[in-house]
Structure 1
């Protein structure tokens, strides 16, 4: 059995500015973002990770580093953080780095959260949900096959990890955003025995932060 720990990055400066925070922009963690990542690290400090994977974007790498800092097994084994492009956040093309409110009246804006199977970002050179899910699932098939009895840490982004984990659990694309995004610095745990079928053991857990640093005060369509 492979056990997969998914952690979303901590709150970033672009998040707080309510700008589109996709796969083409980098942003520093805020003080709350750093605190959230540290809290996740404390919650996972006794977990022995056999491999660690992260999106290559700055906010995810910083979160992965903070999560690993207090880990007692990491101090002994020194697992490298393996950067993988498949974990990069969903690309929203020309929208990225701009205020979310600038696009509130665009016909595709509501579809982003309310009808993801109909979301068409081709006009602004973005990525579809189907493309995002496909690259994420392909990544998971490979790493779980390579670690059939391992425990993996996977650090990434709100939309990417939400779509990936729900797809792995069999949620249809039309319903993939029904419950909003995974919270910042949240922990989600899935298990698989065959790299195809997954069971959820822990979902969007931020109980270790008591609501302080997880960004849960933001609505999902305001907080890319």
Structure 2
């Protein structure tokens, strides 16, 4: 018996106060900005006619709030899965980028320019994130073989997903597209075949 098609609508949470301040969040959290809330509402409007079977979010406050705004009036519970959380940035969390660049110059350079050799001070590597996202995806395919599923997560988790679906190496994790707040990526999974129908799209904000 051939399964139907599973279509994932993958979004990054809306802009937060810390995003605006270029402050690294990781596992810490900050509130959505007015723009973040407004963008999530616009995305909700854009996909209001999609029939979602499930909504799965990272347990962070910023993703759950985004999921609530995008869900609109649908009476679908928001499930959470820790494997969708942002990369754990250890000692960098809560610090602004300029501060990190100053105190961890080699690690900061590796994070953006040589991700395969990046080692976190007390947090996760990109490999760690890729492994948990892969495990999430595998389980999702077992529990939802078809239909539309809305996934609300974070930039590095979305990047890891691109990398996994393209069988790319970790050094390519920052390859385009750029993942803006509330950007929409649509991934279609047909058994072993994975195809991106839309990548990091921000048409709802234009």
Normalising TM by the smaller chain, what interval? Answer: over 0.9
Q: What pairs with 1:28-177 in structure 2 (closer than 5 Å)?
A: 28-70=31-73, 74=74, 78-105=75-102, 106-121=105-120, 124-177=121-174
Contact 1:88 1:160 survives alignment (8 Å): yes
Q: What pairs with 1:19-34 in structure 2 (closer than 5 Å)?
A: 19-23=23-27, 25-34=28-37
Q: Deviations over 1:18-49 (max 9, x none)?
A: 111112x0111000000111111111101000
Q: Note if 1:7 corresponds to 2:4.
A: no
CA drift at 1:165: 2.7
SS in structure 1 of the partner of residue 112 of structure 2: helix
Partner of 1:185: 182
Aligned mates of 2:193, 2:122 — CA distance in 1:
33
CA drift at 1:180: 6.2
SS in structure 2 of the partner of residue 11 of structure 1: coil
Scaled by the length of structure 1, what TM-score is found?
0.86
List runs of 5+ in structure 2 lacking aligned partners: none
CA drift at 1:162: 1.5
Moved over 6 A (4+): none
SS in structure 2 of the partner of residue 107 of structure 1: helix
SS in structure 1 of the partner of residue 52 of structure 2: coil
Scaled by the length of structure 2, what TM-score is found?
0.93
List runs of 5+ in structure 1 lacking aligned partners: 211-224
CA drift at 1:65: 0.3
Q: How many aligned residue pairs are there?
A: 200
Contact 2:39 2:204 survives alignment (8 Å): no
Q: Deviations over 1:110-159 (max 9, x none)?
A: 211211111111xx201000010000010011112211112110001111
SS in structure 1 of the partner of residue 37 of structure 2: helix
Partner of 1:215: none
Partner of 2:203: 207
CA RMSD of aligned residues (A): 1.2
SS in structure 1 of the partner of residue 26 of structure 2: coil
Aligned mates of 1:79, 1:165 — CA distance in 2:
26
Q: Deviations over 1:37-65 (max 9, x none)?
A: 11111111010000110000000000000
Contact 2:163 2:172 survives alignment (8 Å): no
Aligned mates of 2:100, 2:178 — CA distance in 1:
19
